[in-house]
Structure 1
Amino acid sequence: MSQTRMPALFLGHGSPMNVLEENVYTDTWRELGKTLPRPKAIIAVSAHWYTRGTAVTAMEKPRTIHDFGGFPQALFDTHYPAPGSPELAREVAEALAPVDVHPDQEWGFDHGSWGVLIKMYPDADIPVVQLSVDGTKPPAYHFELGRKLAALREQGMMIVASGNVVHNLRMVRWQGDPEPYSWAASFNNYVRDNLSWEGPAEQHPLVNFMQHEGAELSNPTPEHYLPLLYVLGARQPGEAVSIPVDGLVMASLSMLSVQVG
């Protein structure tokens, strides 16, 4: 990795309770924040801002969004007051041209973004903009947007995407530490095995992830998977890919994290 190029990360964020808890996953996120080069700014891509069209937060002071229910009050009392950056929002929009990127003044940081950033950078002193995931577009589109964002990595911007490559809440097992479903483990391994694949985007096994027999159960809807494609798209030829942490919790939720660079 060159001196100025920032890594790109996909973090399996799991339950919002990870904000309050300390475990192997949150420990890994914290360690990444301590050991990686410090970014000038962060471009967050979260499964939880799933839109029609593409938008980027463009306000000076984004709000902390508590987009969940039924959790302890302490979680709702937690805020992540990182500054926004209208200037970076403009740079992101320019990088993604000719895609029409809407400068958003309403959203803020949802728990997919602030839930991991609060562990990585608890001082909330790095500017963050969040990019939405256009739910009307095919996987190759998201991979291509990642390619366009790659240039910003050379300028000190870190991409931090979050979701879960296996995300089936209808089939979670809440009690104890259950064995993962075979289809969940199989799909998670398929993702791991193809992270370093190089070739045309249209042939990429992880762009064409629905071809895997476990994909439909692993991703009944694609929004938690698609943020990974921004990180893989932003990878430069031959660039190292590593797995900071992995695991399947509640039988059908992958906590796999991926680091490019």
Structure 2
Amino acid sequence: MTRAPALFIGHGSPMNAIEDTPSARGWADVARRFERPHSIVMVSAHWVTDGVRIMSNAQPRTIHDFGRGFPQELFDQQYPAPGSPELANATVEKLTAFGAQLDESWGLDHGTWSVLKHMYPEADIPVVQVSLDARRSAAEHYAVGRELAALRDDNVLVMASGNIVHNLPAFFRAPSPEPQPWVASFDALIAGAVANDHEKIVNYTQQSDAAIAAPDWEHFTPVLYTLAAQREGEAPALFNRHYMPGISMTSLAFGLPA
């Protein structure tokens, strides 16, 4: 069976779901570069729990987990992809050492559906979300990702969704549309380490400008899951190197066909 890639997606604003942006076009383009997956396991910055939880709904709802001020068109969006109780159970088994449990309380949050809407607009590929356990260290999140990596061999697309640089106060208070210098410099530091220095990224809080560039652990941590899914000999493919104040949209893939 085909081995699916591993992806990290910088998802940014929910408005990417309904706007024709360079990042949204990049998501659609990367999906055309590899075989259609059998199913998708997604780790999103927007599902944080105490304990590892695996979404087991057969028909997950579309969650509009963003505040007021967005247009009604965005709240009207639906992404009716099926879930997969079978895959959820298999995922729980792989994460037994981490105390993973099935969970039907969640659905597809905007860190998931705003991206998949462009990659697979027919919403016909089963999706299972894996939560971010707030009690875990960065190294433990990486270890969870190592266990999920084996799913790729069954043509399961292992995805994660967040942002390498994510500082919303810096975004909203920026005096100009030009990104601050630390957006590009921190993003470049992380991007430069993805091929062969995972330890530097696991220890991202110790890196220069981390306190201002990556203050939101839940948005940075998903990249660790994609790093952990890298297989020997797989070179990283970086795309969507788009910057704005307080945000980088950089995305990462391992295992794309040559």
Q: TM-score range by the shorter chain?
A: over 0.9
Residue number in structure 2 paired with 1:228: 223
- Output aligned runs, 1:115-134, within 5 Å: 115-134=114-133
Cα offset for 1:33? 2.0
Q: Which moved more, 1:98-107 or 1:82-91?
A: 98-107
Q: Distance in 2 between matches of 1:39 and 1:152?
A: 11
Q: Which runs of 5+ in 1 are unaligned?
A: none
Q: Which moved more, 1:134-143 or 1:177-186?
A: 177-186
Residue number in structure 1 paired with 2:248: 254
Residue number in structure 2 paired with 1:53: 51
Q: Distance in 1 between matches of 2:242 and 2:25?
A: 14
Cα offset for 1:174? 7.1
Cα offset for 1:236? 1.0
Q: Which moved more, 1:85-94 or 1:25-34?
A: 25-34
Residue 5 of structure 2 corresponds to residue 7 of structure 1: yes
Amino acid at match of 2:203: N
Cα offset for 1:35? 2.5
SS at match of 2:91: helix
Cα offset for 1:4? 1.5
- Output aligned runs, 1:78-89, within 5 Å: 78-89=77-88
Q: Which runs of 5+ in 2 are unaligned?
A: none
Q: Distance in 2 between matches of 1:212 and 1:179?
A: 23
Amino-acid identity (%): 46
Q: Distance in 1 between matches of 2:167 and 2:15?
A: 17
2:211 to 185, 210, 216: 216
Report Cα offsets for 1:108-164 as digits up to 9, x if no partner: 000001110111000000000000001111101111111111111001100121000
Residue number in structure 2 paired with 1:42: 40
Residue number in structure 1 paired with 2:240: 245
Residue 191 of structure 2 corresponds to residue 197 of structure 1: no
Q: Distance in 2 between matches of 1:178 and 1:185?
A: 14
Amino acid at match of 2:94: A
Cα offset for 1:36? 1.5
Pick the structure with more helix per residue: 2
Q: Distance in 2 between matches of 1:221 and 1:12?
A: 14
Q: Distance in 1 between matches of 2:151 and 2:43?
A: 14
Q: Distance in 2 between matches of 1:27 and 1:223?
A: 25
SS at match of 1:125: coil
Residue 30 of structure 2 corresponds to residue 32 of structure 1: yes
Distance 1:240-1:177 versus aligned 2 partners, 3 A rule: farther
Displacement over 6 Å in runs of 4+: 174-177
Residue 202 of structure 2 corresponds to residue 207 of structure 1: yes
SS at match of 2:139: helix
SS at match of 2:164: coil
Root-mean-square deviation (CA, aligned residues, Å) is 1.5
Distance 1:75-1:172 versus aligned 2 partners, 3 A rule: same
Cα offset for 1:23? 1.4
Q: Distance in 2 between matches of 1:43 and 1:53?
A: 17
Cα offset for 1:175? 7.8
Q: Distance in 1 between matches of 2:119 and 2:211?
A: 32
Residue number in structure 1 paired with 2:149: 150
TM-score by length of 1: 0.94
- Output aligned runs, 1:67-86, within 5 Å: 67-69=65-67, 70-86=69-85
Q: Distance in 1 between matches of 2:43 and 2:145?
A: 10
Cα offset for 1:42? 0.1
Q: Distance in 1 between matches of 2:89 and 2:70?
A: 36
SS at match of 2:223: helix
